[in-house]
Structure 1
Amino acid sequence: MHQLLSTNPVVVQFTRSSSLRGKAKTLVGPAVRRILHHYRIHDHDIPASGPKKNVLKHDVLSFIDKKELQPVPKVKTPPAVPETAPADVISKPSLGRGEKFTDIPLTNMRKTIAKRLTDSKHNIPHSYVAADLQADKLTALRKKLAKDGVKVSVNDFLIKAVGLALRAVPEVNVQFKNDEIIRIPTVDVSVAVATPNGLITPIIAGADRLQVSDISAKIRDLAGRAKINKLALNEFQGGSFTISNLGMFGISNFTAIINPPQTAILAVGGTRLELGNDLTPHSLFSLTLCYDARAITELDAQRFVNHLELLIGNPDTMITDTTRINVSNIDLSALL
């Protein structure tokens, strides 16, 4: 047994290093010390040729070459298992050991999205207005419509409400190009849709004048074709405002990044129940308007959110024939 150990160069190196610890020459540079550590050899065994009897890198390399030594492999120590760990945890190997990872290159769409959103967050002064909207009447109306065979989602009503609010507050229905604010004559609402290739924003053109049921049919058609890359350019490029609704995925509230040249985006969270002052449960959801402070004032942003609050709180106003409605006659801004 002893003879077998003595013929193993790795063991010989390690034994020599251990037995001579404490007798090291003091003049050993970092590079030399690193090599000595990797090969588990001691500078005491190496003839020194330095001006002050110190071991040089050349001396170590010559010694290694002469002895035909190999680096000592590193010994990996398994992670310690707490004494109180269950028996099944101790017997199983650590999770993640031996797993393989795959690098997935970005698609051109994801590269473009990443670049545009990074530029937007870096160059556009993002400001925010947040609010909690009561949705009790909206929920009741949707149930009533469902009994009549009309199935529309909260998102469909939101698109309609945003369209009407943009018509009532045209100061928010703008784009920002070449350091100029551009008023958009139509109300075209973009809706963020997740696809296998990345996020895309199909446009509901003339959202302020469409019936909620028409909006529902149109968004289903656009979202379906977006997921199979069948949209025309004019169906997802442009628009005057964007809605990003993550409430359907269980997100309660969040902030979004403006998609230039648009100047605003609405982040919508999921519906939740809360007790009111009268201790009765109320249905609420949170939204956050993110707007470009260069193009939209804080007052106009707040007016826009207040109009949304009024429309969602009174959803009956959104299911009439909106092609005949003149918002200027209603004068919702007078509520401010």
Structure 2
Amino acid sequence: MPTEILMPALSPTMEEGTLAKWLVKEGDTVNSGDLLAEIETDKATMEFEAVDEGRIGKLLIAEGTEGVAVNTPIAILLEEGESADDIDTAPQKGGDEKAKKADDRAAPSENAARSDAGSAPANEQPKSGTAAQGSAQSSTSTKSEKGDRVFASPLARRIAADRGLDLAAIQGSGPRGRIVKADVENAEPAASQAKPAASGAAKGVAMPTGASAEAVAAMFKDREYEEVRLDGMRKTIAARLTEAKQTIPHFYLRREVRIDRLMDLRAQMNEQLSERGIKLSVNDFVIKACANALQQVPDTNAVWAGDRILQLKPSDIAVAVAIDGGLITPVLRDAQQKSLSALSTEMRDLATRARDRKLAPHEYQGGSFSISNLGMFGVENFDAVINPPHGAILAVGAGVRKPVVGADGELTVATVMSMTLSVDHRVIDGARGAVLLKAIAENLEAPIAMLA
């Protein structure tokens, strides 16, 4: 029987993607592990592999198509002995019978309700009707006041909670009527469905969303402009940063550090490492300093998980990398255990593949702490927005030669670098944040200790 190949969920937060390129054509024979297509998510371009063998009977979605929802049929796979004539007459796997079985399995649970508070449940890949590798988009269900099940993605649930919307009153446009992000964003809160917002806003009051596209365009109708269409990455950045500034109680701690000893040590090490093709950057030292500091102040190595705090054991450091059209934060796992040269090599590899959009989801998801360094652009100081669910982010400025007062009271010149620690007050209190920033500064001012 012909089998549908479905649009995969290539990351836990993916709801739709762009079918960038087909790597097969109709009539091609494929085996398990063969590459079928290249799919663009909001963060990367990923290859999509077959898990079943057969012949491509029909390509349902043209390459270059944007906004293809997860679980949408994108191609038909024929088994031996089947022909294209079987496609229209055969019942499609993944139809009403599959939906009914999935609904029966998706009973609401306490854990599903908890996922609305901020952490998405683990994805489960349905085997029936799926002919390619990838994890299915997670979806949780609850019951409405009438007892009917309501299926919605974790992101849709979070937005609905923030805006005070009743999911039971929203018509879903996703597979099997599942409510997705667009459905919630386009819904208007009615008086009868207003609920308290999860963020603590006044009852029945939705989060401010700003002026509509039409209203803004009307302001500039007599001016010449070019409309820049948002891609998936830019939409995701806009949504996450808006969420961060609206829901995270930021506070900021600022400090300057003298990095003359660091610069001298870096020069000596680079001279010795040149034969191995390794060149340490100031950012490599900052990464190591933060990783060690999180071990020295372990209660700050934490993330916000909706109704609880998760305190991590390893120092998993996310580092912001500017790429075409936005930014991404690859994660250096177990950074406290790695040498400066290992961190430098790994960071260079992650940054290169990030700019080519070749990172796998596990390479840019997770972490408890972020670093954003704009010093290479001459920026002396700035404030960074926390990357949820991280507990803090360090903004690093340029090292600048400045006159300073020495320990003996004499005026001297030193290389000074400004740092700002943005902290989530729900996770880290002010005093603990200050202790963390002090530990980072001490590691940078006495860098030889980081080599011990």
Name the TM tier (shorter chain). 0.5 to 0.7
Any idea what SS the aligned residue of 2:397 has?
A: strand
Aligned partner (choices 95, 110, 114) of residue 234 of structure 2: 110
Any idea what SS the aligned residue of 2:279 has?
A: coil
Partner of residue 394, structure 2: 266
Q: Which residue identity lines up with residue 123 of structure 1 in the other structure?
A: T
Q: Which residue identity lines up with residue 434 of structure 2 in the other structure?
A: Q
Gaps of 5+ in 2: 1-222
Q: How far apart in 2 are the matches of 1:293 and 1:133?
A: 24
1:300 aligns with 2:428: no
1:137 aligns with 2:261: yes
Q: Which runs of 4+ in 1 moved over 6 A?
A: none
Measured after TM superposition, the shift of residue 144 of structure 1 is 1.0
CA offset digits 1:143-170 (Å, max 9, x no partner) = 1112212520100000000000001111
Q: Which residue identity lines up with residue 227 of structure 2 in the other structure?
A: D
Q: How far apart in 2 are the matches of 1:179 and 1:252?
A: 37
CA offset digits 1:80-128 (Å, max 9, x no partner) = xxxxxxxxxxxxxxxxxxx964221111111111111111101110011
Q: Which residue identity lines up with residue 197 of structure 1 in the other structure?
A: G
Q: Output aligned runs, 1:312-327, within 5 Å.
A: 312-320=444-452
Relative to total residues, which structure has the larger strand share, 1 or 2?
2
Structure with max Cα Rg: 1
1:232 aligns with 2:360: yes
Any idea what SS the aligned residue of 2:387 has?
A: coil
Relative to total residues, which structure has the larger helix share, 1 or 2?
1
RMSD over aligned CA atoms reads 1.5
Q: How far apart in 1 are the matches of 2:359 and 2:402?
A: 40
Partner of residue 423, structure 2: 291
Aligned partner (choices 176, 179, 193) of residue 307 of structure 2: 179
Q: Which residue identity lines up with residue 126 of structure 1 in the other structure?
A: H
Q: How far apart in 2 are the matches of 1:288 and 1:104?
A: 32
Q: Which residue identity lines up with residue 229 of structure 2 in the other structure?
A: P
1:245 aligns with 2:373: yes
Q: How far apart in 2 are the matches of 1:103 and 1:319?
A: 51
Q: How far apart in 2 are the matches of 1:186 and 1:113?
A: 26
Q: Output aligned runs, 1:131-170, within 5 Å.
A: 131-148=255-272, 149=274, 150-170=278-298
Q: Output aligned runs, 1:114-125, within 5 Å.
A: 114-125=238-249
Q: How far apart in 2 are the matches of 1:297 and 1:113?
A: 27
1:199 aligns with 2:327: yes
Q: How far apart in 2 are the matches of 1:100 and 1:144?
A: 55
Any idea what SS the aligned residue of 2:411 has?
A: coil
Q: Percent identity?
A: 42
CA offset digits 1:16-51 (Å, max 9, x no partner) = xxxxxxxxxxxxxxxxxxxxxxxxxxxxxxxxxxxx
Q: Which residue identity lines up with residue 103 of structure 1 in the other structure?
A: E
Q: How far apart in 2 are the matches of 1:271 and 1:126?
A: 25
CA offset digits 1:201-238 (Å, max 9, x no partner) = 00010111100010000000000000011001000011
Partner of residue 276, structure 1: 404
Q: Which has the higher contact order (CA 8 A, sep 6+)?
A: 1
Q: How far apart in 1 are the matches of 2:412 and 2:260?
A: 12
Gaps of 5+ in 1: 1-98, 321-336
Q: How far apart in 1 are the matches of 2:319 and 2:356?
A: 16
Q: How many equivalent pairs are there?
A: 223
Q: How far apart in 2 are the matches of 1:207 and 1:279?
A: 37
Q: How far apart in 2 are the matches of 1:130 and 1:222?
A: 29
Any idea what SS the aligned residue of 2:398 has?
A: strand
Q: How far apart in 1 are the matches of 2:451 and 2:404?
A: 28
Q: How far apart in 2 are the matches of 1:285 and 1:166?
A: 20
Measured after TM superposition, the shift of residue 319 of structure 1 is 2.3
Partner of residue 14, structure 1: none
Q: How far apart in 2 are the matches of 1:146 and 1:269?
A: 22
